[in-house]
């Protein structure tokens, strides 16, 4: 297993949509292990393959925020099949260290995906689960946190991230719950 570099905005690769996984292979299993290790080390509660420069429709979640035991979930080729309600949630993102924004999302979702072994499953939920899934699905579609805020906030975030990247600061530790 190896830690992977998490791409930081404004890296153009973050805007690339993920391609469907055609077969769950040993390479995919190794990628999933690397993604989990990278997510936990960040620390975060979710990570999409596109955030580490791999344009595949895969993300991992663990909503326990580092508590034991972990509850790692793998979503391959996910699709939200049902959603309802609205909620505003303050979100962070591992690709935007130190930035938190209120984002409007569906309050409840049902998702269909393949697990780590390529077997189909469905899950449904609300709260942090619904928000985290939608956040990671956005990454798989090339949609970023800045795409969900006002033009003024987008410009401010863009400037802040450019400044952070230019100053070559050490990455800020993510607050628990960054996606």
Catalytic (active site) residue 136: yes
**Separation between Cα atoms, residue 8 and residue 2, nearest integer Å:** 19
Contact 79, 113 (CB under 8 A): yes
Rounded CA separation 91/47 (Å): 13
b (16+ CB within 10 A) / e for 83-114: beeeeebebbbbbbbebebebebbbbbbbbbb
% residues pLDDT > 70 (the chain): 91
Number of domains forming the structure of the chain: 1
Is the per-residue pLDDT at 100 higher than 80?
Answer: yes
Whether residue 177 has pLDDT greater than 70: no
Has this prediction a pTM greater than 0.85?
Answer: yes
Q: How much is the pLDDT for 166?
A: 84
Tell whether 7 is covered by a domain. Answer: no
In a domain, 129, yes or no: yes
Indicate whether 91 pLDDT > 80. Answer: yes
Torsion of CA 104, 97, 168, 155, to 10 degrees: 20
Q: Does the residue 178 lie in any domain?
A: no
Judge whether residue 59 has pLDDT over 70.
yes
In a domain, 128, yes or no: yes
Mean pLDDT of 51-74: 90
In a domain, 142, yes or no: yes
Q: Are residues 78 and 140 in contact, defined by beta-carbon separation less than 8 angstroms?
A: yes
Residue ranges making up the domain that contains 54: 12-167
Is 139 within the bounds of a domain?
yes
pLDDT band for 171, please (50, 70, 90 cuts): low
pLDDT of 9 over the 80 cut: yes
pLDDT surpasses 70 at 94: yes
Q: What pLDDT digit, counting tens, does each position of 131-153 carry?
A: 999 999 999 999 999 999 999 99
Q: pLDDT tens digits for 77-90?
A: 999 999 999 999 99
User: Active site residue: 136, 169, 172, 175, which one?
Assistant: 136
Query: pLDDT value at position 107?
Result: 98
Residue 97: C-alpha distances to residues 1, 81, 86, 117 (Å): 24, 30, 26, 32
Question: Residue 62 belongs to a domain with what CATH number?
Answer: 3.90.45.10
- 179 domain residue, yes or no: no
Is position 152 within any domain? yes
């Amino acid at each position: 297993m190896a830690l992977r570099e998490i791409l930081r905005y404004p890296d153009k690769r973050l805007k690339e949509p993920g391609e469907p996984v055609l077969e769950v292979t040993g390479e995919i299993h190794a990628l999933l292990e690397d993604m989990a290790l990278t997510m936990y080390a960040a620390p975060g509660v979710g990570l999409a393959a596109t955030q580490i420069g791999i344009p595949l429709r895969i993300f991992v979640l663990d909503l326990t925020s580092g508590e034991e035991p972990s509850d790692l979930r793998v979503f391959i080729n996910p699709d939200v099949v049902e959603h309802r309600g609205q909620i505003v949630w303050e979100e962070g993102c591992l690709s935007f260290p130190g930035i938190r924004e209120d984002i409007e999302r569906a309050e409840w979702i049902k998702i269909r995906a393949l697990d780590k072994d390529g077997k189909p499953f469905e899950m449904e939920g609300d709260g942090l689960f619904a928000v985290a899934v939608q956040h990671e699905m956005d990454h798989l579609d090339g949609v970023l946190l800045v795409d969900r805020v006002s033009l003024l906030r987008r410009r401010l975030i863009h400037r802040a991230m450019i400044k952070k990247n230019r100053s070559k600061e050490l990455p800020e530790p993510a607050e628990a719950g960054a996606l």
